[in-house]
Amino acid sequence: VYKRQHIGIAVNSLKTSIPLYERLLGSNCYKTEQVSGEQVDTAFFLQNGAKIELLESIDPNGVIAKFIQKKGEGLHHIAFEVPDIYAEMERLKKEGFTLLNETPKSGADNKLVCFVHPKDANGVLIELCQSRR
């Protein structure tokens, strides 16, 4: 029973994409945060309960920079909130899914995160997240 958490979108520049999404959604970016472990700056929007995370690489060799080089800007991942990320990672491993990290990592918003390989999910990178208690 996953709860939808957010949709991650890879962008070249938060400076241009924040005002763009503010115009698009008619609501202001409510938070920006650097996640140094992932080499990204993030910006968050909330629209009717739907959360959007824009991601800009702060490292030319970071995962988001590489993603944009290969595929261009656009949908990068879909995140689901889980109550117990350790249990969920175990369950997914048993189900045969490839996890991109063996232990949870620090994500934005004070969360523990884990990614499931897109090859196992019809080309979509899936992020699991759990709030730190």
Which residues form the interface with Zn ion (CB under 5 A)? 8, 53, 79, 127
Least CB distance to Zn ion at residue 85 (A): 13
Residue closer to Zn ion by CB (options 88, 127) is 127
Q: Give the 3-state secondary structure percentages of the chain, helix then strand then coil, rounded to 5.
A: 30, 40, 30
Q: Which residue is nearest to Zn ion (CB)?
A: 8
C-alpha separations of 94 from 35, 99, 115, 117 in Å: 30, 11, 15, 15
Residue closer to Zn ion by CB (options 56, 127) is 127
Least CB distance to Zn ion at residue 122 (A): 18
User: Nearest CA to 63 among 127, 131, 15?
Assistant: 127
Least CB distance to Zn ion at residue 77 (A): 6
Least CB distance to Zn ion at residue 113 (A): 7
Residues 6+ apart with CB under 8 A from 22: 28, 29, 45
Residue closer to Zn ion by CB (options 5, 92) is 5
